[in-house]
C-alpha cells in the first residue's frame, strides 16, 4: 500500500508494524506462489481462465 504522509516517522513506523506482523513475509510468499502458477500455466489454461472470468461478470463489471 502506498502512503503519502508528510511526517518522516510515520512511514518508518508503518514499515515496522508490517515487519512485526509478518505482512511483508506473506506478501513475498504470495508473489512466489503467483510466479510458480504463471510458470506452469499453458495457453489453454490462460484462455480457460479468461473465459471463466468473463462469464462471472456482466458488462458493468458486476457479478452475473
Q: Cell numbers 506478501 label which residue?
A: 27
Closest Cα to residue 15, out of 6, 26, 3?
3
Alpha helices in 1-64 (DSSP H): 9-21, 23-40, 43-56
Looking at beta carbons, which pairs linking 12-21 to residues 24 or more positions away fall under 8 Å? none
Stated pTM of the model: 0.49
pLDDT attached to residue 46: 93
**Nine-digit cell string for 41:** 500455466
pLDDT attached to residue 4: 66
Write the pLDDT tens digit of every residue in 5-55.
678 888 888 888 888 887 778 888 999 999 999 999 999 999 999 999 889
Amino acid at each position: 500500500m502506498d502512503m503519502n504522509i508528510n511526517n518522516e516517522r510515520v512511514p518508518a513506523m508503518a514499515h515496522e508494524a508490517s515487519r512485526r506482523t509478518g505482512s511483508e513475509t506473506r506478501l513475498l510468499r504470495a508473489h512466489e506462489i503467483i510466479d510458480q502458477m504463471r510458470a506452469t500455466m499453458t495457453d489453454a489454461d490462460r484462455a480457460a481462465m479468461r473465459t471463466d472470468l468473463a462469464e462471472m461478470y456482466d458488462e458493468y463489471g458486476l457479478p452475473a
